[in-house]
């Protein structure tokens, strides 16, 4: 018998939450970008620079969030595959004498 140290359902639930949270953060970043674009259109110099920086930060938020979610997904998949392998190995060991 195999004992999993991972609560796969909880991890999947967390992954869903993180995906939704990333979508929210991307929306916030997009709103900031829109507002900084309005400022940049109406002013010169530092506002335009701030808009470019806000655009860069919005992209970083999205990329880093997607990277973290992919890492969680990959780790969950690896843990699940490991649990299945352990289950198979345990079953083979139990049935080896028969």
Q: What is the pLDDT of residue 96?
A: 55
Average pLDDT on 32-61 reads 77
The answer, yes or no, to whether residue 22 has pLDDT greater than 70, is yes
More confident residue, 38 or 19: 19
Tokens (6 digits) for 17 = 């939450």
pTM, full prediction: 0.49
Alpha helices in the chain (DSSP H): 8-42, 46-95
Average pLDDT on 55-82 reads 81
Crossing angle, helix 8-42 and helix 46-95, to 10 degrees? 170
Q: What is the pLDDT of residue 91?
A: 46
Q: What is the pLDDT of residue 15?
A: 84
The answer, yes or no, to whether residue 18 has pLDDT greater than 50, is yes
Q: How would you class 51 by CB atoms within 10 Å of its CB: exposed for 0-12, middle for 13-18, buried for 19 or more?
A: buried
Geometric angle at alpha carbon 18, from 69 and 8, rounded to 5°:
75
Q: Which residues contact 31 (CB under 8 A, 6 or more apart)?
A: none
Residue for token digits 């993180």? Answer: 18
The answer, yes or no, to whether residue 2 has pLDDT greater than 80, is no
């Amino acid at each position: 018998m195999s004992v999993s140290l991972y609560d796969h359902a909880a991890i999947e639930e967390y992954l869903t939450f993180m995906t939704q949270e990333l979508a929210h953060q991307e929306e916030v970043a997009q709103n900031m970008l829109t507002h900084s674009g309005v400022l940049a259109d109406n002013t010169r110099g530092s506002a335009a620079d701030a808009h470019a920086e806000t655009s860069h930060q919005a992209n970083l938020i999205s990329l880093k969030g997607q990277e973290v979610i992919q890492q969680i997904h990959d780790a969950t998949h690896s843990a699940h595959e490991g649990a299945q392998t352990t289950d198979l190995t345990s079953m083979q060991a139990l049935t080896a004498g028969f």
